[in-house]
Structure 1
Amino acid sequence: MQPGELKPILTALVLPPTGPLLLALLGLLIAARRRTAGLALAALGIVVALALGSHGVARLLARELLPPVAPAQAGALREVQAIVVLGAGVWVAPPEYGTAQPNEAALVRLRYAARLARQTGKPLAFAGGVGWGAMDGAETEGSVSRRMLQEDYGLQVRWLDDRSRDTEENATRMAELAGRDGVRRIALVTDAIHMPRAAAAFRRAGFEVVPAPTDFPRPEHNPVLEWLPSTPGLAACRHVIREWLGSLVARATH
């Protein structure tokens, strides 16, 4: 097993719901010897698990833990040499399509990148291979996204990285591919929560980055439902905490 393959495993153990539920389980084990302290810890784990399933909490965490991100400005986009979009995963075998497709998060990024490419006339670049947690034999994000952009939008990808496995590799591989053609100033397309870490990685790789974020954290339900646990709320909290932890690790190692 390569070291990188441990990342999705450790992440799954730390992030909600597993992390808080493991905390609650630990509390129940401690309660066998120290009842009050153990039950208090178990209750804390359950409360945290419920809170981290809320979309409102995800937005609050994003505001408090991550740097603010603003939409791209048209003037800045006119000065870039390329639109670089990052992958987010694939649906391996959707029966209605018959071939692998970008997942929901990737589709949001690809659609926005296609829009920017048409508005600015700048060439497209894509970065994404097979993630550390992907199934063996999965088609690369690069080949899946290139096919979708061509078939659904009529757009060609000029620089394609289909080997990188995480954000740091996205940046270094794209520097090798587009850098040889003199590309230095790019518009970077990813979701707003991922943007601070991604932009930092591409700057370390030598790019001048104009952030072009999409999929901003925003209210999605009425005020009551926004603060109740839900599947989208849990996914949003996981994403925010994952990016915050990833940023801490990146700052500690660079």
Structure 2
Amino acid sequence: MFFLKKLITHFILPPGLLVIAFAFLGILTKRKLAKLIAFSFALFVYLLSIEPIKDVLYKPLEEAYPVPSKPEGDAIVILGGGAYNTGILKEDSTKRLLTGFVLHKQTDLPIILSGGTSIGVLPEAEVMKELLLTLGVDKSKIHTDVNSRDTAENAQEVKKLCERLRCKKIILVTSAYHMKRAVLSFQKAGLDVVPYPTDFKRDMRYNLYSLLPKMSVFADSYKALREYLGLVWYSL
């Protein structure tokens, strides 16, 4: 009874509802091409919404760089991962910031926060700075880039800060799925990078419920696909 309740719930809410809708259209239509497209979209949405496929997408991204046991550098660079207009960090940003905070406590290295915004009142780097100050980090140890809007601009703006601070080697903190693209950008900017990935998305523990479509999983799959698209764009 419990599993039946879960099954019904997952298929009356998106993305399960979309899977049912596309499959239903496929059954109703008589044109072969339309039927093929409808069933293909149903399968596509379903696969991106289940945990095993999400983990397959993340595997090459998250295994690119291991977490170093004793990272060494001149500064810790933390990349923003989004903030709400209310001044609250999104999940990815929070995990990156907490990882960088722990590293700072271990090394006492200065922190560079990178992340601007095109909308909202407060740049993301400033939101992160306020939280670090609340956690007791010395204000003189925090430096912010509030102008960058994407990873390429993160690298360019951080490079300027590093030149001013005389930092040649950085410990780069970002989500594991984002690290490959981030490293490419920062190396292109001329910085010596020590990758320190965090915010791993793969779970690798599956049961029957792992095959039910979930919006959170669909959102994670979207992030992975966006990274692959970004890597192609950066390589070009």
Deviation at 1:66, TM superposition (A): 6.8
Change (3 A) 1:66 1:92: same
Aligned-pair RMSD on alpha carbons?
2.5
Higher-Rg structure is: 2
Determine whether 1:128 maps to 2:119. Answer: no
Greater fraction of residues in helix: 2
Q: 1:145 aligns with which of 121, 128, 141?
A: 128
Percent identical residues: 30
Q: Which residue does 2:92 correspond to in 1?
A: 105
2:50 alignment partner AA: S
Q: Which residue does 2:46 correspond to in 1?
A: 50
* Residue pair 2:181, 2:231 contacting (<8 A) in 1 also: yes
Change (3 A) 1:88 1:65: closer
Q: How does 1:1-254 map to 2 (within 5 A)?
A: 35-64=31-60, 68-74=64-70, 77=71, 79-93=72-86, 100-130=87-117, 136-156=119-139, 157-219=141-203, 222-252=206-236
- Give the distance between the partners of 2:39 and 2:173, measured in 1 at CA: 41
1:84 alignment partner AA: V
Normalising by structure 2, we get a TM-score of: 0.83
Structure 1 unaligned residues grouped into runs of 5+: 1-15, 94-99
Q: Deviations over 1:194-253 (max 9, x none)?
A: 00001110111111100000011321764222232112211210111110110010001x
- Give the distance between the partners of 1:66 and 1:158, measured in 2 at CA: 28
Change (3 A) 1:64 1:154: closer
Normalising by structure 1, we get a TM-score of: 0.77
Q: How many residues align?
A: 216
Displaced runs of 4 or more, over 4 A: 64-67
